[in-house]
Structure 1
Amino acid sequence: MPRLIRTLAAAGLSGVLLVGTAVAPATAAPTSIGGATVAHRTSIAERLRVDRVPTPKLDWYKCYGYAECATVDLPLDYDKPRGATTEIAVLRVKARDQKRKIGSLFVNPGGPGGSGTDAALAAPYFLGDELLDRFDVVGIDPRGVAASEQVRCFKSVKDQTRAYEGLHVAFPNTREEEKAFVASVIAVGKACSTTGRPISGAMSTAEVARDMDVLRRAVGDKKLTYLGFSYGSILGQYYANMFPDRVRAVVIDGVLDATAWFGSGRSGDLDQETRMRSAQGAYKALREIMKRCEAAGLDACPLAGGDAMAQFELLTKRLKAKPVVTEDEYGSFTVTYATFIQWALDILYSPYAYEVTFLTADLLQLTHPSAAKATREQARVSVVQRAIQTRQQARGYDFPYDNGLETFLGVDCTDANHPKDAASWATRAARADQRDPHFGRLWTWLSSPCARDSWTVRDEDRFTGPFNRRTVNPVLVVGNYWDPATNYNGAVAASKLLPNSRLLSSDSWGHAAYGTSACVTGAVDAYLLRLTLPKKGKVCKGDVQPFEELPESAAVQRAETSKSDLAAEGTPRRGAAKQLPPVVAPLPAVGPLMVR
């Protein structure tokens, strides 16, 4: 999908190693000493896997001006520590105050398929000063991803381009598009299960957690300090459950429920979106914005003065009937219903999520036949700006080989349980859209390449739970009420499952809360630095709230609209339209599907 970094992530059991599988232990509960409950221990199976791998020597070299880089060969299969290896890329930005350094802070930006080395390199731009002073910030490119040895499911770019032919829509919305999309996801699944091997079958989150534990040892830390966003919350949960006695401080923000991600028992026959309900979070955020729009009035919101949500629905109706064709510097660009929903979700990822009202207003102008020429031209300019951004992101799958989609699938399809038949996703997506309008289809199609009949490669050492291990130090779980990608309910579920955790909630906008709220950022930094948890039940508030202040670009011009604009189609009229600010950052495009 044109995707989201969703801008947008582990676990442990006790047992013994027996022909590559873990046998469940007789005692699963944490021990009690003198009446006090202590942490679970890393299982025998996991200790055998990771501890017999010699501590790698990281041969750091200067890179990117202010960072250090290294690569290391780690076991492709931890059951065979002296067998085949895969190259893992590591980057660190050293603590500014080395004399007072606490240790290393491992970071993961999500995806799956996001680059940890890119996240670490960006540390000076998004982490607080005290974290930068006291920690070496370390990023790992997960196996198969970015600067690590890459997964490659096709022998040539030509073969990949042909296989991806049906995927060049935000999501399929007609029978013809669905048929082409299904054919492509089947082709991708089969290619990754054959040509993509062996890496495609060794990319599960459990393998990344094992790599991270070995590298934790390599940088000299006795326990792990970790900050993970979005899918990075899954990696954090897997590590916490696999290595519960090796946790110094784990913070997960933009949280996915690990049990819903994995799909245990009968839920494994449900598609992942039905389990996780990302679309529910997106639709909830959209409706709240429209509610606040009406309260803010026409001076702040272009859809006020009527039923804002009805105007959004009117636009979707118009675009389904007739897409908008506009011209940009590259030629013509067609804005379909699916394109609009993708753009709307892109905007909901931002702390300035309320700018979705400006986009809606501009497209309503373009789809209204009697709108004044000047007004339609103004609206066209803002839409063209977004079309150009979309083109720049989704350059296609020509030279050089782009494995962005394959990195996402290499993790999700080996990690989780999925339904068998790719063709069944059309019905599943339709049901999801009835349940969570507009966004249900988009999020459901995400996992379609993982259909078990076409994605047949498996990781026998993936982690399957339990996800309720007690860690030696708490896990801080951060949930954002209005997250359009990782439903707030996921944070609540994860915090309930992890017995030694603390939930920090935030009334914030966009995807994940760190950096959008001084309250959240301060609480996270305090925990990472001093192991000081926020108070139970604490709720922060995002620094940017809808319509409380307008970006300068949004206030430049207003266009008067006809009072009969919506009345002609049976919905309340709307007021003045505003230009969509060009500063809204689109989500990184790593394939024809969306990423968290």
Structure 2
Amino acid sequence: MVTDFDTFSAHTVLEQGFTVASSTNLTNPAIEELVEQSRQFLALKQSQAELCGKNMGDELKYMGTATVVRDLDFMSKIFDGEDAKINYWGASYGSILGSYLVNMLPDRVGYVVIDGIVDPVVWSSEPSQNWPINWLQSTEKTYQFYLKTCSQAGPATCPLAKSANEPSGNILARLETLFDALALAPLPVPFGSRPGFLTSGAARALLLEYLEDPTLWGESALAFSQAMAANGTLLFNKLAAPYPGSISTPHYDLVRLGVTCLDSPPPASPSDVPTAEDLAAQLVKTLKEVSPHFGASTSVSEPDGGCQFWPVKGPERFTGPFTANLERPMLVISNTLDPITPIYSGLHVHTLMPNSTVLVIQDGPGHTSTAILTPCTLGLVQGYFAGILPDNGTVCNVTYPYFSDESGPAAASSALIELPGLEKDAPALIALLRGL
């Protein structure tokens, strides 16, 4: 059945994202339009917060990451014994939980792996509406790689291309033309999973989501090429819930808010409460400084913000420091082209805990190393849990048939090669990453 969240968010900025009026002025958009969209966004977030307060009551205050760490500790003692070490693997938000775990309870942890790193300092010290400026550090490089591999594949498997090896800038220009057209006139979608329309903001947000999963890049090219031909059904179906009466994928938007709004710092005073103008200015800042194509596009896949309305505070909010000394180093894994948890966040965790972390780099695109499963990275993780610590700075290369008939999750595990480890210290890693 269609969830209450689907009904609540349908045809709003929560579903359709923020639209920037013209791609010719991405880094200096019409801020008045973003302010108006931000007003709608804040009103919806306030409604969500009030609904959560009414429906969850006192339980709502126990959803923060610090409380989950206490739960892990309690469960470990019950299931494994008082002296048992906590072994943990987590990716994306799970990297936050892992960072909190090792820094809150350094003497309790055993083997810990975190993958697709979210910067725990930013997470715990910045209000959640500011997080995307950190998350999008690698997005433009990932986008350029997407365009390049589409060009190399050609129209047979990447219909966004007109010919094999055409300049990738041509593909970029066609996509920007689509986004501009949708900004002027949303595309009607009468026969999708439910009737609706596709906006420029939604299309950009969906492309950002596709960048996270290279196994779906072929599907993305088909979906966007169809939208260019005035058929937005495939794209819209990725966005919207099915008709009433059918089975939809459940949304967890408000669960996420329950965590992020207890972890991020509350406004220190009424003057610190972000206004619609503040949100719009932050979007423009992210467009200008970090990602001109996706700086305003994270709200659909990463539904944060509006925490000033959150009705409760948790019993504990951990703010660091994130500098624990561990008996056994934690394994930190980052992709070079992760569009939402950039490699710089993995490097930051490593430099905060240089003697208590080992950094493994997967040289390829996608969100977390599991986006494309490589025998190299998988082998290092398995070896780590068996007591074998890889060399710091080990690089695992990725060979994958992007935009190919062979692409997909099954092909990913068999089409990749392994490189030997490279011993690097933190300064050398910084130099390496600056060149990526």
Query: Structure 1-normalised TM-score?
Result: 0.56
Question: What is the deviation of 1:395?
Answer: 7.2
What does residue 413 of structure 1 align with?
261
Q: Which of 204, 223, 228 does residue 359 from structure 1 map onto?
A: 223
Task: Render the CA deviation track for 1:84-133: whole Å, top value 9, x for unaligned.
Answer: xxxxxxxxxxxxxxxxxxxxxxxxxxxxxxxxxxxxxxxxxxxxxxxxxx
Change (3 A) 1:422 1:517: farther
Question: Kindly, what percent of the aligned residue pairs are identical?
Answer: 26
**Which residue does 1:500 correspond to in 2?**
356
Q: Which has the higher helix share?
A: 2
Deviations 1:222-265 (A, max 9, x none): 101111011000101111011111221000011111101111xx
The answer for unaligned runs of 5 or more in structure 2 is: 20-32, 268-272, 409-436
1:485 to 2:340 alignment: yes
Q: Encode CA deviations 1:419-445: one digit per residue, 9 max, x unaligned.
A: 522522222223223331232223268
Give a deviation string over 1:563-589, Cα, whole Å, max 9, x none.
xxxxxxxxxxxxxxxxxxxxxxxxxxx
Partner of 2:172: 309
Structure 2 CA distance for aligned equivalents of residues 185 and 351 of structure 1: 31
Determine if contact 1:422/1:449 at 8 Å carries over to the other structure: no
Query: Is residue 243 from structure 1 mapped to residue 105 from structure 2 by the alignment?
Result: yes
Please tell me the residue identity of whatever aligns with 2:239: T
Gaps of 5+ in 1: 1-155, 367-379, 554-596
Aligned partners of 2:197 and 2:146: how far apart in 1?
26
The Cα offsets for residues 30-64 of structure 1, whole Å up to 9 and x where unpaired, read as: xxxxxxxxxxxxxxxxxxxxxxxxxxxxxxxxxxx
Find the counterpart in structure 2 of residue 521 from structure 1: 378
* Residue type of the alignment partner of 2:166: G
Residue 164 (structure 2) pairs with residue 291 (structure 1):
no
Superposition pairs of residues 236-385 of structure 1, within 5 angstroms: 236-263=98-125, 267=126, 271-274=130-133, 277-297=134-154, 301-302=158-159, 303=161, 304-306=165-167, 307=169, 308-328=171-191, 332-352=195-215, 354-355=217-218, 356-366=220-230, 380=231, 383-385=232-234
Aligned position for 1:94: none
Do the aligned residues in 1 keep the contact of 2:227 with 2:235 (CA within 8 Å)?
A: no
Deviation at 1:525, TM superposition (A): 1.1
Q: Which moved more, 1:418-427 or 1:337-346?
A: 418-427
1:60-81: CA deviation from partner (whole Å, max 9, x where unpaired): xxxxxxxxxxxxxxxxxxxxxx
User: In the alignment, which residue of structure 1 is the partner of 2:325?
Assistant: 470
Aligned length: 371
For 1:281-317, what per-residue CA distance to the aligned partner results, in whole angstroms no more than 9, with x for missing partners? 3332112221333355556544252422222222212
Deviates more, 1:246-255 or 1:183-192: 183-192
Distance 1:350 1:406, change over 3 A: same
Contact 1:190 / 1:456 at 8 angstroms: preserved in 2?
yes
Q: Using the alignment, how far apart are the partners of 2:243 and 2:113 within structure 1?
A: 32
Q: Based on CA coordinates, which of the two structures has the bigger radius of gyration?
A: 1
Q: Which residue in the other structure is 2:59 paired with?
A: 199
1:480 is paired with a residue of what secondary structure?
strand
> Is 1:534 aligned to residue 390 of structure 2?
yes
Give the structure 1 partner of residue 280 of structure 2.
426
Tell me the SS of whatever aligns to 1:443: coil
Q: Give yes or no for contact 2:129–2:305 (8 Å, CA) kept in 1.
A: no
The change in CA–CA distance for 1:446 and 1:227 in structure 2 (over 3 A counts) is same
Q: 1:294–1:305: 8 Å Cα contact kept in structure 2?
A: yes
Map of 1:101 onto structure 2: none
Report how far residue 552 of structure 1 moved: 7.6
Superposed CA RMSD: 3.3
Query: Aligned equivalents of 1:440 and 1:465: distance in 2?
Result: 28
**Maintained 8 Å contact 1:477/1:504:** yes
1:388 corresponding residue in structure 2: 237
Q: Indicate the residue corresponding to 1:9 in structure 2.
A: none
Q: Does the 8 Å contact 2:123/2:264 carry over to 1? A: yes
Paired AA for residue 442 in structure 1: S
Counterpart check, 1:550 vs 2:410: no
| Residues 164/417 of structure 1: CA separation in 2 closer, same or farther (3 Å cut) | farther
CA distance in 1: counterparts of 2:85 and 2:193, whole angstroms: 52
Residue 534 (structure 1) shift: 1.8
2:39 is matched with 179
Superimposed CA distance per residue, residues 170-228 of structure 1 (whole angstroms, 9 cap, x where no aligned partner): 31334554332221112223444565432222211011011001111122151011110
Q: CA deviation at 1:489?
A: 1.2
Greater CA drift, 175-184 or 460-469: 175-184
